[in-house]
Amino acid sequence: MIPALGIIFGLGILIFIHELGHFIAAKSMGILVEEFSLGFGPAIVKFKIKETEYKIAAIPVGGYIKMKGEDPDSELTGSKDEFLSRKTHEKIIVALAGPLANIILAAAIYPVIFMGIGEKEAVLTPYAQIAGTIEGSAAESAGIIRKDIIEKINETEIRSPSDITPIVSGSAGNTLFLTVRRGDEVLKIAVRPNKREKYDYIYYELGVYFKIDPVIGPLPKKSNAYRAGLREGDIIVKSGGREVFSFTDIFEDIVDGSALLLTVKRSGELLDITVPPVLTSGFNEEGKIRKAFRYDLTSEYRIVKSGFGEGISRSLNALGSDFLLIYNSLRIIIKHPKEARHLGGFITIGYILSKSIREGIAEYLAWIGMISVNLAVVNMLPLIITDGGLILMFMFEFLTRRKMKKKERAVLQYTGFALLLLLFLFIMKNDIMRYL
């Protein structure tokens, strides 16, 4: 029930905010707005306030506002309350207001997450101890082994795993000199990070994963792990009879769907607890949605809230990252057309929102923010039936000093509609294929 409400609210607020942007811009200029509709088709609920009729319609895949004098083929009187009778820059402002409202929504959401709700942050060990190396990695080739502690890289002291990532990323593949503690020994190990490339992106990695203390983090009382008897702060000693060094060890040798047998230490006492799995779903490596089993327990984490300055800075970075992600995704699709299979529509958006709400309000709001930015960008595509297409048409009329002819407009409208329909059908096919 809650995931369903999360989908309805998420999609509803995205559409509402977009149309509200157009509505406020039009009303502020004195343009008469005849209808404000969430959804298309026959009205489920409708009421009228002054000159505007407000509706919630049966097909919840968009919305619109209907302004007086917005039909290019209608008789215009030149009145200021007619949309197409206004100056070019005023019409462009009204068209821009919808996408801008979606960007403002995202810009308002991120400070709430960073400064108000806070984020989950893993409790890292106060040292960088190796839990394992990836086969064929630079670290394995250099002789780094499980339980090694990296104390220095070059002359930089390492206090936690988070200190290592920026050093390796900025290494440009040059040899790094590690000071490593192995038991009572201190070793000097030279390692050259592996260069990796995907979709023209180059990055560097050592090929290690670090120890996460095997301590149980906060557990919801409705979780299988809590009902089975686990409690926050329990120290995992064994999993399936095998000794546990790092939290990730508990999932080794687990058959999909089997129960998880843990031995935990609590107040000096050892307890054997069997945790049943949770049937869930998620995207696999091929981008398909598949049923899978997981265990609803996590390692220790804390909720961290940013101060005002840091919160604003992180919010701006998050907003910028959303735009960068869209740009990079489009660039990848253009250069590698097969990757277009990862595009998703309303079904995928609904699935993501339903999953994220189970992870917590911060995760849910973050997805709404990202989708809102995507909606703004999609609406700025230069198709005649989108906001971007309208702006293009208004700019054409302004630069040529003439109205677009009916035939010209019809060609653009039908072309735009056909392209949008093809994109919609392609994305719908992607959505369906994710479940097959």
Residues labelled catalytic:
19
Q: How many CA atoms lie within 13 A of 177 on its CB side?
A: 4
Look at residue 232 and give its three-state secondary structure. Answer: coil
The CA distances from residue 279 to 224, 228, 294, 295, 432, in Å, are 11, 16, 7, 9, 21
Which phi-psi region, left, alpha or beta, contains residue 143 (left: φ > 0; alpha: ψ -120 to 50)? left
The secondary element (H helix, E strand) that includes residue 26 is helix 2-28
Question: What tokens were used for 436?
Answer: 């097959």
For residue 234, the 8-state DSSP code is P
**Tally: H helices and E strands in the chain:** 10, 18
The radius of gyration of the chain's CA atoms, rounded to the nearest angstrom, is: 28
Residue 81 corresponds to which tokens in the numbers above? 């309350």
Name which of 185, 172, 175, 174 is nearest 145 in CA terms. 185
DSSP letter string, 48-115: EETTEEEEEEEEEEEEEEEETT--TTSPP---TTSGGGS-HHHHHHHHHHHHHHHHHHHHHHHHIIII
- Cα 193 from chain centroid? 29
How many Cβ atoms from other residues are within 10 Å of residue 285's Cβ?
Answer: 5
HSE toward the beta carbon, residue 349, CA cutoff 13 A: 19
> Residue 64 pairs with which residues in a beta bridge?
37
Q: Which alpha helices (H) appear in 336-386, and where do they start and end?
A: 346-359, 361-379
Q: Report the length, in residues, of the chain.
A: 436
